[in-house]
Structures are given as structure tokens and as C-alpha cells.
Amino acid sequence: MQATATKNKDNLMVLLFAAAVLLMPLWLQPFGAAYPDLMQKFAIFGLFAIGFNILFGQTGYLSFGHAAFIGVGSYATVWVFKLFTMNIFPAMLFGVLVSGVFSLVIGYVCLRRTGIYFSILTLALAQMSYNLAYSVLTPITNGETGLQLSIQDPRSWDAVAVTGEGIPSTNLFGLELSAFDGLAGFYICAVFLILGFYVAMRITRSPFGSMLRGIKTNQQRMMYTGLNTKPYALTAFVISGMYAGLAGSLMAAVDPLAGAERMQWTASGEVVLMTILGGVGTLIGPVLGAAVIKYFENIFSAINTTVLADFYSFLPQGLADVLVSLTSLFVGKGWHLTLGLLFMMVVIFLPGGIMEGIARIRKRFSASN
Amino acid sequence: MSTLLEISGVNKSFGGLQALDDVNLKVNEGTVHAIIGPNGAGKSTLLNAIIGKLVPDTGTVKFDGKDMIGVQPHQINQHGISRVFQTPEIFGELTILENMMIPLLAHRDGAFKPALWSRSDAQGDILERAEHFLSDMNLWGKKEVHAASLSRGDKRRLELAMCLSQDPKLLLLDEPTAGMARADTNNTIDLLKTIAGRGITMAIIEHDMHVVFSLSQRISVLAQGHVICEGLPEEIKTDPRVREAYLGGAEV
Ligand SMILES: Nc1ncnc2c1ncn2[C@@H]1O[C@H](COP(=O)(O)OP(=O)(O)OP(=O)(O)O)[C@@H](O)[C@H]1O
Ligand SMILES: [Mg+2]
């Protein structure tokens, strides 16, 4: 049967994806990226981008405000840490639920419009949330300082267990996220990434997914075909908002603080770049895009002139100096330049992102065989 | 014979232009009703008023005894009205099979059912029906092709299949043979005759008089937004007002 064949293919894809994610500490070594802090970022932003793609890639609604849900997820999670428990399970659950409710409200308002007007509305509401977090909502967000844990926090569910030296660290039913040099934290993020990927795959292959793509391609036709497009788009919006909330909760879980800068429009723009870079509407693309951008941000920005001089040391001094000063434009603080160039190249030559590049290479290989 | 669609006193103006001027029209159940008239007469606008794409300034549209004014487009479709547009409205970026599944799902599951967890390719009944309707239009072999890459004629056939798959009570066709070669037109006439034979009521806008006279039991002539006459095909053929409306157009 054809249906079972495609189903098996999908399951195989998820398995391969899971294997690749779980083995990251091994195969990322040659790239110098196999440390928990960065791998956690890959997983967290991968999740964010997967969720964003459900709204942008599948449904065709470009939101410029999704970082707001990251912020909401983070704040809500940290509050559970402060008030009740350092166990991330209830804390993250609460974070995702709150961001779900928040995205329901924001989505309901923004989806009254489509196209550029929708994008502007999301941008406006997200900036509003960001500014509120800095001002009026200071009692909840602790303003500029950001929401942090303190030794005086009640943590009422944990109280008996904690002996009182310093702030306890986050844990999952006892397993501390900082355990095994932070690898525990990474593997918890990795499991969420794999689950998130699987759920996104199911949504994509479902009748609901067909409806979302129908809305993206021809909203008019959907209406005259008897479909109420509003609740479909709103459901997609809430799902992607909850993915963002989950990403925000994970950020708080691995590093228990929350600040308003996570909600800024630059963070919302970044996930757009990730999705386009990787491949809009594809399943794996957004994860790749997120990884590439986080890799550049962390690895390229850390390269300085000393590292470069070392790299070019085999060349004659004069030539090496020229190359060092040329290359240093693109690394260190200049990593944005590299990213910008890469992004332009992709948009111009590979509008389908990295995934289109992969598809083209595959095609060439199968043609030459 | 009962009236399925009843349009009374419908007016619509765009700025200063009176696109529909006191339009009255009845479509009886089980008949093919043609709406003809020169370019810009307001034919497509009339269909827009029926499917809820625009709301008339005044007047009523009744379908199956129910008032359709102010009803949402998707609800109007769920009541049983499907429309084939003048320029095909399909899902260009989706495959033909997926194009076909969306109206079938809408027909089976209603206006909103978030089936997030089941698989599209495991919907046996839907796939069966999709195969049936696509085979009818000779499109089953191309089911994995993106709809945007189809020829104009195939796009029309796909859109027609999509509308038919919803088992509509009333099928609205806006120039279904425009831009088709003679042979294709004749095939379409045969196809529409078969559909009419199944008892589906149709309102068809058409410039090709061969199509009009082969299919319709009743004809309304629209000119400058007004129904200038209505009657049996033989009556319309010889009516001097129709000749005048077409400014001596040779076709009538
Ligand atoms: N949305 C709109 N806004 C402004 N004017 C419109 C609109 N829709 C239609 N019109 C005008 O109303 C008139 C009737 O248009 P309509 O498309 O209904 O004509 P038609 O009879 O379908 O013509 P054709 O045979 O060329 O398709 C035209 O003059 C058209 O320009
Ligand atoms: Mg027209």
C-alpha cells in the first residue's frame, strides 16, 4: 500500500532525525560545536523555528512578533521556579500553557487581517509586550534587571527537600540539568526537539495540514469550498505560539532567568531568517537554519585576530597580515556581515533555502547515475 | 418544479457604476439555467452576490428557502452552492490530489475540523472519491503534479471536479468553456449534460451560444446590470431585445 509506504518513510525520517540530534555531542566535535551550551541553543531555536514554520511555512502568515511568546514562556516558567518548585516539568507545562493562552489572544486580534497588515499587527503587539515588560509589568518581569531566582523565593513544593545553601538548580524529577557537565540539560532539550519534530511531521501529513497549505495557496478558494479559514489559521497560530513558549520555557530551564530582551523584534526577525535560510515549508529546513545561525553567532563571533593569525601562520608574514585583516571583517564582531552575505546568497540563488540546495545536489547525483 | 434559487430586487453599485440593477431571477430545481449578456453586463457580479463574495446594496438572495444575505461564504457553500470561476481558482502550489482532497474533506467534515493527528493518505473513502472524480476528468494520472503547471483546460476540469465532488445542490459555472478548443468544448458539453442528467441544478454563464443552446432549459439575458428578458431558448433566440443588447452580435 502506498499509504503505509509514505508512513514508513516519514517514521524513518523521524528516526534519522532523532539519531542525528542525539549523536550531536559526537559529530559536532570536528566543528568545535559539541559543547552543551551551544547544542542546547541548537535544540531550543530548532524548536522555535519548527513551530514558526507551521504558521509561516504552512499557513502563509508571516509573524514578526513570535519572540513575545518566547518571553512569556520564560517568565511563566521562572515564576513556577520561584513560587513552587525547581522541577522543570510543571514549570514548563505552565510556561507552554500561558504562552498558548497569550497566543490565542494575540492571534485572534492579528488574524483579523492578512498579508502585510497581519505582519505589522504582530510586530506592533510584540513590541508593545516588550515595552510593557520593561515598564508597567515590572512587578511581574522585574524590568531591566530581568526575573531572577533568589534565595528568599518560597518554592513551596520543594521547601522540605532544600537544605538552604544557595539557590537550588533546576531538575527534572531529581535529575539536575547541570549534571554530566550540562549534557543532561542538552539531552532534555534534545528530547523536546525530537518530540516537536515528530508532532510537526504529523501535523504536516494530516488533513489539518492540507487545510493550512490550502489557506496559504488560495484563501479565497478555501472559503468558497466551505471552509472556515479563521479557526484553522488561529489554531496554527496557537500551535506555533506554544512551540515558541516551549522554547522559552527550555531557555529558562537550562538557565533560570528571564529578561525582556528575549522578546525584542530582532529576536522575532531572527526566526524568520532561520526559517527562510533552512527552507520555508519544509520539515527539516527550519532546524538547519536555526543551527546555522546559532553556529555563526557563537563560533564565528568568537574568532579573533589571534586565532586568525594562528590559522594563517604557514604563510609569509606580509601576506598573512593582509589576510588576517581581510578575514577579520567577517568574524568576531563582524559575524553579522558573514550571516548577511550568506542570507542574501541563499535568497537570491536558493529561494527554497538549504533544503532546496540539498534537493538540487541529490537531483544532480541521481541524474549522473 | 420548485424554485431552488430566488434572486429578487438585487442592486449593487461600484462607485457610480450600477453593476446590478434590480435583478430578479429564479432557478428551478433540476434545470440548467443560462445567464448570457455582453461583456461587463454584470454576470460574474451576480454570481458573486450569490456566493457571498459581495453583499448586495439591496435585495434578497434565497437558496432552498433560506435567506443568504449576510451569510458567510463558507456557510453558503456548506448549504450546497459550489462555483467554478471565470479564471480557475485552484490551489496552484498543491498537487492535484491534494487539490481534490480539500473539497472532499470540507464536504465530509464540515467548515472546521482540526484533524491534526490522522494522516491524509490514510483517508480511504476520501482517496477513493478523489480517484473517481479525477479519473472522470482524465487527471488521475497527473495526481502528483502541481496544479499550477496544468494547462488552462486541465485547470478548469480540475476546478469542476473539485466542485462536483462536493455533491452540490446548485453548481454555478462562469464561462466553463472560455478559451477551449472546439473539441474540448464539445467534451465539456457532454460532461455537463451527464452532470445535469444526475439532477444537479446549474446556473451557467456562457458566451458560446452553441454551449448555451445545447444545455439550457431557460435563459436570462443580462445587459447593463439588468435582466432584459428571460425565457425558453427558442424565445430568446428570436427576441429582438437580445439582438439589440448584443449590438447586432452575429452569434445570436
Ligand atoms: N469589485 C469590483 N469593483 C469595481 N467594479 C467592479 C467590480 N466587479 C465588477 N465590477 C464592474 O462591474 C461591471 C460588471 O462586471 P462583471 O465582471 O460582472 O461583468 P461580466 O458580465 O461578468 O463580464 P464578462 O463577460 O466580461 O465576464 C464591470 O463594469 C466591472 O468593471
Ligand atoms: Mg464575467
Q: Are B69 and B57 in contact (CB under 8 A)?
A: no
Distance A308 CA to ligand 2 centre (A): 67
Positions in chain B short of pLDDT 70:
1, 247-252
CA distance B183 to A74: 65
Question: Which of B84, B121, B107 minimizes the C-alpha distance to A227?
Answer: B107
Confidence band for A161, pLDDT divided at 50, 70 and 90: low
Locate B97 and state its grid cell: 490530489
- CA-proximal residue: ligand 1, atom 4 (nearest): B14
Residues of A in contact with B117 (CB under 8 A): 202, 206
* Segment A93-111, tens digit of pLDDT: 999 999 999 999 999 999 9
- CA-proximal residue: ligand 1, atom 28 (nearest): B40
Q: For all residues of chain A together, what is the average pLDDT?
A: 92
User: Which residue in chain B has the smallest CA separation from A203?
Assistant: B116
- CA-proximal residue: ligand 1, atom 31 (nearest): B40
CA-only gyration radius of chain B, Å: 18
Multiple choice CATH, B1-80+169-252, 3.30.450.20, 1.20.810.10, 3.40.50.300, 1.10.3720.10: 3.40.50.300
Q: Residue B23, CB half-sphere, CA atoms under 13 Å: how many?
A: 35
A300 vs A32, A125, A230, A307, CA distance in Å?
11, 33, 43, 11
Residues of B in contact with A51 (CB under 8 A): none
Q: Is the pLDDT of residue A56 over 70?
A: yes
Q: Residue A63: helix, strand or coil by DSSP?
A: coil
Which helix or strand (DSSP H or E) is residue B245 part of?
helix B240-245
Q: Is the pLDDT of residue A163 over 60?
A: no
Q: Do A205 and B120 make contact, defined as CB atoms within 8 angstroms?
A: yes
Average pLDDT estimate for A141-146: 88
Provide the pLDDT for residue A17.
Answer: 98
Q: Residue B20: helix, strand or coil by DSSP?
A: strand
Provide the pLDDT for residue B58.
Answer: 96
CA distance B252 to B243: 7
A6 lies within 8 A of chain B by CB: yes
Sheet bearing B32-36, strands edge to edge: B81-84, B170-174, B201-205, B32-36, B218-223, B226-231
User: Which residue in chain A has the smallest CA separation from B85?
Assistant: A221
Whole-model pTM?
0.94
Q: State which of B45, B55, B174, B227 you would mutate to test the pocket of ligand 1, scoring each by most atoms of that ligand within 8 A of its C-beta.
A: B45
User: Which residue in chain A has the smallest CA separation from B90?
Assistant: A221
Q: State the distance between the two ends of chain B, measured CA to CA, in whole angstroms.
A: 28
Q: Are A193 and A46 in contact (CB under 8 A)?
A: yes
Average pLDDT estimate for A66-90: 96
* Segment A218-237, tens digit of pLDDT: 999 999 999 999 999 999 99
Please state the domain extents for chain A.
2-263
Provide the pLDDT for residue A1.
Answer: 56
* Segment A297-341, tens digit of pLDDT: 898 888 888 888 888 888 888 888 888 888 888 888 888 888 889
Average pLDDT estimate for A342-356: 92
CATH 3.40.50.300, chain B: domain bounds: 1-80+169-252
Residues of A in contact with B86 (CB under 8 A): none
Locate B178 and state its grid cell: 472560455
> Percentage of chain A surpassing pLDDT 70?
97
Provide the pLDDT for residue A327.
Answer: 85
Average pLDDT estimate for A80-86: 94
Q: Are B90 and B149 in contact (CB under 8 A)?
A: no
Q: Are A289 and A45 in contact (CB under 8 A)?
A: no
Provide the pLDDT for residue A165.
Answer: 67
Atom of ligand 1 nearest to the CA of B222: 21
Compare A308 and A36 and report the one with higher pLDDT. A36
Locate A142 and state its grid cell: 522585574
